[in-house]
Amino acid sequence: MKNKKFITLGFASVAVATALLFSSNLFAKSSMKDAEASRLQSLAKFTKVISIVEQYNVDEVTIEELMDKALDGMLKNLDAHSNYLTQKDYKKLKVQTSGEFGGLGITVGIKDGALTVIAPIDGTPADKAGLKAGDIILKIDDKSTLSMTIDEAVSIMRGKVGEPIDLAIVRKGEGKPLDIHIVRGIITIESVLAKRIGDDILYVRVASFDQKVASDVAKEIKKMQASTKGIVLDLRNNPGGLLDQAVDLVDLFVDEGIVVSQKGRKKSDEKTYSASKSATITNVPMVVLINGGSASASEIVSGALQDHKRAVLLGENTFGKGSVQVVLPITDKEAIKLTIARYYLPSGRTIQAVGVKPDIKVLPGEVKTHENGFAIKEADLKKHLEKELVKVDGKKEKTKEEKEEKKDIITPEMINKDIQLKEAVDILKALVIIKG
């Protein structure tokens, strides 16, 4: 009887499970039907609106124009970086990514709904005219930037070399908008600049992440590796660039672990980039300089080095662009630029809209120095050892080689004009002493 009861219960359980599975399948099919019906209703609504506008709009408009406007509006409303590229826009994008071009030399983004300068590129017309990271562009040649997309703004700012352009900007700390007059120039970017500070500190400035950044930085480190006891990596006003170069740059300093990962809606959009021991070339102490103009790839580098406790970050909070965009052609001449994923740092934290916070916050400015005219030193005493002083401080005419070499040196006077760099050097000296 027990066995019969067990068998009866077993059959009952199977029956219940079968009923549940059948019910679940019916529910899934029902949901699919509802979703399909909803899609059809939405498409019917869209078609109806297009038809009404085409028929009754005050100005005659073609179906092609309406579709372009509809696609443009749809993508603009997804996020600040997605947009529809018409034939003209797509052609401009190809020119933009092909190399040298005429323009101002700034990277812009949408921050809190406003067209904002992420960073001026070193040595460009915008940099020379005095544009700064964080400047909000109100007008471009009397055209309001309200509701203007990044691509529309870039399109207006690009132009023939030698043509002037006027920007009205709002800057933090200024009581009224500023008018900036700029003459367009050829934009070529020297991405890596290396100099020495004293005998044992290497200063490396990375202006943007182009195709050779990691190899150029590696070359500079190897050139001065024997005497280098610490590195200052300057990523201020670096608007970003190629992801693989950011990963390869971190790999020069970190021998293992995740550098960055990207996660999207689909599994195929998820990727993880890791460091390898074979690519690492130095383990000396590091300080990384960042500010509000450090964006995208430079945020990945600084954030990864911070998470791996490989460097001290000094300066200001970064821009906060941690999303991945791809250009997807929809015809031979048109495309869409779509955000497909977000970047995540090794610790799992996001960059998007948050940025990377420095370990030590230091605002930009000059070092305040005061000479004490009343202090009496040994050299001021009547019977001080003059001959010994001559031996120590005796000045000689510099040779041609010494003058040439000075171009690659950051002097104490230059450091005092940049308080963030001064703090970085002081911290690095302390780290070098501790490491021995």
Structural domains in the chain, CATH included, are 101-187 (2.30.42.10), 192-325+336-361 (3.90.226.10)
Give the pLDDT of residue 101. 63
The residue type at 132: K
89, 151, 234, 307: the catalytic one is 307
User: pLDDT digits over 255-280, tens only?
Assistant: 999 999 999 988 888 999 999 999 99
Of 321, 337, 418, 422, catalytic: 321
The active-site residue, picked from 208, 296, 298, 323, is 296
pLDDT band, very low/low/confident/very high, at 187 (cuts 50, 70, 90): confident
What's the CA gap between 320 and 310, in Å, rounded? Answer: 21
| % the chain with pLDDT above 90 | 61
The whole-number average pLDDT for the span 409-423 is 94
Express the helix, strand and coil content of the chain in percent, nearest 5 each: 40, 25, 35
For residue 109, the model assigns a pLDDT of 85
- 166 classed as catalytic: no
d(CA 179, CA 256) in angstroms, rounded, equals: 49
- Does residue 417 carry a catalytic annotation? no
Confidence at residue 399, expressed as pLDDT on a 0 to 100 scale: 57
Do 214 and 254 form a contact (C-beta atoms < 8 A)?
Answer: no
For this structure, is 307 an active site residue? yes
Query: Which of 14-23, 194-203, 204-213, 385-394 tops mean pLDDT?
Result: 194-203
DSSP 234-290: E-TT---B-HHHHHHHHHTT--SEEEEEEEESSGGG-EEEEE-GGG------EEEEE
What's the pTM?
A: 0.74
CA 136, CA 115: separation in Å to the nearest integer? 6
Q: Which residues pair with 343 in a beta bridge?
A: 262
45 pLDDT tier (thresholds 50, 70, 90): very high
In the prediction, which pLDDT does 423 show? 97
Encode burial over 58-91: b for 16+ CB neighbours within 10 A, e otherwise: eeeeeeeebeeeebbeebbeeeebbbbbeeebbe
- Among the ranges given (128-142, 209-223, 238-252, 358-372), the one the predictor scored with the smallest mean pLDDT: 358-372
Residues 6 or more apart in contact with residue 17 via CB below 8 angstroms: none
Highest average pLDDT, of 19-23, 353-357, 387-391, comes from 353-357
